Chain A
Amino acid sequence: MTTKFSKTQIDRLGDRLRKGNLTDADFRLLDEYRRSFGEVYEIVVRAIRERLKLEPTGRPAKSTGSIVDKLHRESIRLSQVQDIAGCRIVVSDVKEQDRIVGLLLNVFPRASIVDRRVHTSFGYRAVHVIPRISGKLIEVQVRSLLQHSWAELSERVSDVFDPAIKYGVGNNMILKILMDNSERVKQIETMEDQILVASEDRLKLRVLQQEIIDTKKELVNHLNKLILIVEGREEKKV
């Protein structure tokens, strides 16, 4: 596998992306750079499909807008962006998430793990498994259903309001609702985990089940508040 680009060339492109006003030549170079991940991306996705019998959704190349956002908010160079290519797996719950992460580590034993359940990123929770092949990183996102719903909602709200919201900047009311709900997702998933341990203790089990129902209700109520704000904004734009 040969690389046609020097790091300097890519990082200079990153600087131009940060500044804006891109030329056709910049778009073509960025496109070529993203395509250079294709072979390694294929290896990773094929291994997940064939060896683990899982069906990830692949995203062979990060969009230009997302790359620009990332370069703006983090002081990193384009050559350091580690999610140029990747894929996503959504599973039922945390227990299944842990199982899938374990399986991925069997296939890619030297992959690095970023556990965003422990080190959340502005409320974002998930586990990222990142194999490095031929010097290129491919990000495999493993999300539980609740984590995924939160992430998609946060992205959608960021789209309409302000891309910076995803990164903890902007409308304080929206940020608070998102952060509080991320915490509720954590609480629900922790209690769901405890239910498995408490299955012998009927009283404890019932208490946990009720707490999950109550926390889910709170979650839904707060999401409804968020939706009213977002829909109000969307109506104004029409």
Chain B
Amino acid sequence: MIFLIEYDRRKGELITLKRFRDSDRLKAQNKRLEIELDLNHKGINHEVVLLEAAKEAMIRRTHRRYFETPRQIAKSVKAGK
């Protein structure tokens, strides 16, 4: 699956998470560009990124900063996860 993420770095906040099928890669890439252009016109500085993984749980594990607070990340160090 393909995941399109819009993330506010300054606030550490996930703005949107859109899901696309693997076969819709072009659609996902076009959407990413469309969002980036729109944000630029509005003068908003958000990170827009595409990630690909078999399951959503995987991106939540490998790219935790988009989904978890520092406290949650630190907690997992304690739990060894």
List A residues at the B interface (Cβ < 8 Å): 22, 24, 27-28, 31, 35, 45, 55-66, 88-90, 145-146, 148-149, 152-153, 155-157, 159-160, 163, 216, 219-220, 223-224, 226-227, 230-231, 234, 237
With A58-B51, A226-B70 as known contacts, state yes or no: A234 contacts B12, CB within 8 Å. Answer: yes
13 pairs from A and B in contact (CB 8 Å cutoff)? A22-B40, A27-B37, A59-B52, A60-B52, A64-B47, A65-B9, A145-B80, A149-B76, A152-B68, A156-B68, A156-B73, A163-B9, A216-B77
B50 to chain A, nearest CB (A): 6
* Chain A neighbourhood of B53, CB < 8 A: 55-58
CB pair A231–B70 under 8 Å, yes or no, is yes
Q: A35 and B51: CB pair below 8 A? A: no
CB-based contact B77/A155 at 8 Å = no
Q: With A and B bound together, what is the CA distance between A61 and B29 in angstroms? A: 9
Q: Check if B33 sits within 8 Å of A220, measured CB to CB.
A: no
Q: List, in ascending order, chain A residues with CB within 8 A of B69's CB.
A: 156
Q: State whether A45 and B81 are in contact (beta carbons under 8 Å apart), knowing that A57-B63, A153-B74 are contacts in the complex.
A: no
**Is the interface on chain B under 10, 10 to 19, 20 to 34, or 35 or more residues?**
35 or more
Q: Is B17 an interface residue (CB 8 A)?
A: no
Q: A55-B58, A159-B10, A159-B65 are in contact. Are A146 and B77 (CB under 8 A)?
A: yes
User: Which residues of the other chain, A, contact B40 by a CB distance below 8 angstroms?
Assistant: 22, 24, 27
Which residues of B22-69 are within 8 A (CB) of A?
A: 29, 32-33, 36-37, 40, 45, 47-54, 58-59, 61-65, 68-69
